[in-house]
């Protein structure tokens, strides 16, 4: 059976929000805990939800930290976000070939749309499942299962593409094939240790992979 559905994570996979995310964390943490956090300290925070990250830092001020992060993140969004090389052309090709396309992300839906519109990717996706659409974020299968349901797709016919272990484990938990991207901010080795079915060195690799996946 061939793959007919591709689900993508957004940040760090389709669009390069790495600098935006890192600077948002550093701004927030330096405001509340001056000079305590450096760039390398916030890399592990990329992938989990903001709640998961901030509750591990300060249970008493979680909402205050989240609000500060989101305010900075939105106000600096268009200045710091750009698409990864080859993403637009590859997603456009997938759409032209008739693949069902969806976004599954731990981001809020309003900021998801900002990123998609900025990079003109919004025209290609039939379904978006954001953090505010689910009870349980990735790696729980709920968001991926919800996207598959909305796309009328079966897990065995789907591929989940992402830059973080949450994406790979989420895909495995939902029963899809998985692809990790080598341009993950945490490095190729990080994503490889979770044993995705494929690792993309560049987004256009999807074309070759999908061509060879028909059984």
111: closest CA among 77, 135, 147, 154? Answer: 77
Q: How far apart are CA 44 and CA 197, in angstroms?
A: 23
Catalytic pick from 9, 11, 163, 167? 9
Strand ranges of the sheet holding 177-181, from the earlier edge strand across to the other edge: 127-129, 100-104, 5-8, 158-162, 177-181, 198-200
- Whether 83 and 121 have beta carbons less than 8 Å apart is answered as yes
Distance CA 12, CA 10 (A): 6
Q: Is 41 a catalytic residue?
A: no
d(CA 117, CA 111): 10
Largest CA distance in the chain: 56
Per residue in 86-112, is it b (16+ CB within 10 Å) or e — as a string? Answer: ebbebbeebbeeebbbbbbbbbbeebb
Closest by CA position to 170, among listed 129, 212, 208:
129
Contact 124, 91 (CB under 8 A): yes
Instruction: With H, G, I as helix, E, B as strand and everything else as coil, classify residue 70.
Output: helix
| Catalytic annotation, residues | 9
């Amino acid at each position: 059976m061939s793959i007919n559905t591709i689900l993508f994570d957004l940040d760090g996979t389709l669009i390069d929000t790495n600098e935006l995310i890192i600077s948002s964390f550093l701004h927030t943490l330096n405001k509340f805990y001056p000079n305590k956090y450096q760039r390398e300290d916030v890399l592990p925070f990329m992938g989990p939800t903001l709640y998961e990250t901030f509750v591990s830092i300060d249970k008493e001020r979680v909402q205050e930290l989240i609000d500060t992060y989101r305010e900075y993140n939105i106000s600096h969004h268009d200045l710091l976000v750009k698409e990864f090389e080859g993403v637009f052309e590859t997603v456009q090709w997938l759409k032209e070939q008739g693949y069902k396309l969806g976004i599954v992300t731990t981001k809020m839906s309003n900021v998801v749309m900002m990123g998609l519109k900025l990079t003109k990717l919004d025209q290609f996706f039939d379904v978006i499942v954001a953090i505010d659409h689910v009870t349980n974020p990735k790696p729980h299968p709920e968001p991926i299962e919800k996207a598959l349901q909305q796309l009328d797709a079966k897990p065995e016919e789907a591929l989940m593409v992402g830059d973080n272990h949450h994406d790979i484990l989420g895909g495995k938990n939902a029963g899809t094939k998985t692809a990790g991207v080598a341009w993950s901010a945490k490095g190729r080795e990080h994503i490889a240790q979770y044993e995705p079915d494929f690792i993309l060195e560049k987004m256009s690799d999807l074309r070759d992979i999908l061509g060879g996946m028909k059984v």
